[in-house]
Amino acid sequence: METLLTSQVFGRLSEAAQTLANQEVRLWKEQGGRVIGYFCSSVPEEVFTAAGFLPFRMRATGSSGTEMSDAFFSSINCSFPRHCFNQALKGEFGFLDGLVLYNSCDNVRRVYDHWIRQMDTPFVHFMSIPRRAEELQVQWYRDELRRLVDETENHFGVSIGDEELEEAITVHNEARRLQRALCDLRKKDKPPITGAEVLAVTVAGTAMRKDTFNRVLAELLQELAASEGKGGYRARLMILGGILDDPGYVGVIEDQGGLVVTDSTCFGTRIFWEDVDETSDPLSALARYYVADRPSCPRVFGLYEKRSDLWRQLVREFRVDGVVLERLTFCDNWGFEQFTIQDDFREWGIPLLMLDREYVSGGIGQLRTRVQAFLETIGR
């Protein structure tokens, strides 16, 4: 399916998603702003916004190999941290003033060990986030957030009080609401935006100041309100999985005639499907949101039924004909859960295509062939 958007507004968002040191980052740094990188969507970017920083979600866009990081990671490590650390060794993250990591998985956990020994990033902080989502774990994570706030204040000489956190939560919730409004447009018979374009927008939201992102996205929504989408697609699809920050990968799927109308990925709906509570103590609200309230991934134990309920809700609301489960090779978290997912979608009567992939897209011909065959089995 061809790209629908050609506006300057979308172009600004797309550029932010296509590069690491994008124009938004460069302008911010030229103005004396600080940038804090963070791995995984469970790190509370509101804390960095409250400090006056630009939160930057770590990815390896533009990577072409792991020739340098292979000295630190084995060939059976997930390719996402290998490509990220390779980009770091090449100097592609020189714009970072700090980096925050946590135990999202064993592979990303190893990035911290190598980063503090090989890189000279001024501020590197490691957090521990629980793998369950009960009250005890919420309180544990609140203590972790308190420690993050204290160390950020001490290192950078800034103040992150309740007022600053409340303002940051408001700005980030606005971004979540705008992104949900964008997704609502995909419920139409002829959506005015493709799945690849939506992914470019959500990735851009992790690579620029949230207040700037909100203004640009609001303009884009105004443009789309007057736009008429294109039909003629063969099936309405949902993408399910973990790390997916490459709109080109979704574009290959859509080029075969499928239209991706929704997702449950960690650069997609999981980062904006719910809001942070704006009425309670901000640190407690952030801890509850990131541990228990937001849609989880398989690293969180005991919430599979909640995850599956959300998938079925998305299938109904967006009238999904088939689901694509994409999993990074050697991803332990999704490796365990994919078997239960396969059984459940079979029981629900929803066609499911399971794809293993590397972080940098390869084997495009094979991907096209498998998607084409899948669309034929749906028979829309």
CATH of residue 97:
3.40.50.11890
Alpha carbon distance 246, 207 (integer Å): 14
Number of structural domains (the chain) is: 1
Question: Is 50 part of any domain?
Answer: yes
Whole-number pLDDT of residue 232? 87
Question: Is 40 part of any domain?
Answer: yes
**Minimal CA–CA distance to 28: which of 44, 60, 52?**
52
Strands of the 235-241 sheet, one edge to the other: 258-264, 235-241, 322-328, 352-357
**Mean local confidence (pLDDT), 324-335:** 90
**Mean local confidence (pLDDT), 137-163:** 98
Question: Is 323 part of any domain?
Answer: no
Beta bridge partners of 100: 38, 125
Question: Is 43 part of any domain?
Answer: yes
Whole-number pLDDT of residue 14? 95
**Minimal CA–CA distance to 36: which of 127, 103, 122, 116?**
122
Question: Is 79 part of any domain?
Answer: yes
pTM: 0.95
- How would residue 2 be classed by pLDDT, with cut points 50, 70 and 90? very low
Count other Cβ atoms within 10 Å, centred on residue 237.
29
CA angle 44, 201, 131 (to 5 degrees): 30
- How confident is the model over 194-244, as pLDDT tens digits? 999 999 999 999 999 999 999 999 999 999 988 888 788 999 999 999 999
Q: What residue numbers bound the domain in which 98 lies?
A: 33-151
- How would residue 307 be classed by pLDDT, with cut points 50, 70 and 90? very high
- How confident is the model over 272-297, as pLDDT tens digits? 999 999 999 999 999 999 999 999 99
Question: Is 352 part of any domain?
Answer: no
Residue 70, pLDDT > 80, answer yes
Question: Is 370 part of any domain?
Answer: no
Question: Is 15 part of any domain?
Answer: no
Alpha carbon distance 169, 163 (integer Å): 10
- How would residue 4 be classed by pLDDT, with cut points 50, 70 and 90? low
